[in-house]
Amino acid sequence: MANHDIIVVGASAGGVSALTKLVQSFPENLNASVFIVLHTSPVSPGLLPDILSRKGPLKAVHPKDGEEFKKGKIYVAPPDHHLLLERGHVVVKKGPKENHFRPSIDALFRSAAYVYGPRVIGIVLTGMLNDGTSGLWSVKRMGGIAIIQHPDDALFPSMPVSVLEHVTVDHIVTLDKIGQLLNTLVAKRAPKKISISAKEMKLLKMEVVIATHDNAFEMGIMDMGKLTPYTCPECNGALIGITEGASVRFRCHTGHAFTASNLLSGITQTVEERLWDGMRGMEETTMLLNHLGDHYKKAGNKKMASRFFSKAKEIAKRAQIIHDSVLTQQLLSEDVIINQEKMIKPSRDA
């Protein structure tokens, strides 16, 4: 029987600092393989492996697709590519984004849970919104161990807090204590593989495969959840709702996936973009009407010029309404709503 020798780590905002401290706490003889996803820009130069290699005792690399992994080594997801696990090797693919990100924390965690079950230790560190919650839920569902950075120790506590709200966490620790904890956990034998329903296992396998390439519709993803009235912020595709414990998340037929908070953020972002488009169209209309008014004025047709100038003023007033709407439009997410409530409560108590 194997030990807990598969460690998956996810971080977002504040993640470089957190991961640097984390690897510094690793023992030199860590008897496990470590896999890391940090949310980064698609055009990032990909310097994280060099940083982690210099700061900690273990060598970190960007693995190649199909590369066999070894214990005592750190594998970092390359920019704009998902990092997934298969038996004995990694998969590095440019599949559909999850929560607007590629690489995705959830995708890595799900693949580890599907292949290695109770051997997995999942760790969620600092970050905004809630990528990592669904993935860590899968780790626990398959018998693995769930660890989060203590929210008070996180520069951005939203991701650890989200996990606390939806997942039964085994350990809540500060960064400087995680290395020691891992050394203890890795030395222990992993329990037997957990048996889950055939439908759950089918969905888990399907989502792992979807992260490797864009064929969600052909695989039958639309049959794995309840069809919703919402559309995907990435591609405008139809979304299904997938229930995990007390939480719900969403996936479209092309493969993009969202937590409820990330979907809310994406929809409100789309609303703002469309308002800007509307305002641009109204202002272009105003400019064209004034241009035509000037044309007729110069041609000596004052009556036609007056009509176009009058209509231009009318459209300009409508454009101002849209302009005011754009400036008051909010980008919403669970983080934003919670922070707004925190700001409001003191004044109410007063």
> Of the residues 5, 25, 33, 39, which is catalytic?
39
93: helix, coil or strand?
strand
> Of the residues 12, 111, 162, 333, which is catalytic?
12
347 is catalytic: no
Give me the DSSP letters along 77-89: PPTTSEEEEETTE
Largest CA distance in the chain: 93
Angle at 24 between CA 173 and CA 174, to 5 degrees: 10
80 is catalytic: no
Give me the DSSP letters along 140-178: HHTT-EEEEE-GGG-SSTHHHHHHHHHS--SEEE-HHHH
Among 231, 274, 4, smallest CA distance to 117 is for 4
> Of the residues 5, 106, 131, 335, which is catalytic?
131
Q: Where are the alpha helices (DSSP H) in the chain?
A: 15-24, 48-55, 105-116, 133-141, 158-166, 175-186, 198-210, 216-219, 260-298, 302-328, 334-349
Among 14, 40, 37, smallest CA distance to 126 is for 14
Give the H or E element holding residue 258. Answer: strand 257-259
- Taking a C-beta distance cutoff of 8 angstroms, is the pair 59, 73 a contact? yes
Distance separating the N- and C-terminal Cα atoms of the chain: 60
Contacts of 223 (CB under 8 A, 6+ apart): none
Note if the bond before 57 is cis, omega within 30 degrees: no
Residues in the chain: 350
150 is catalytic: no
Catalytic residue positions, numbered: 12, 39, 131
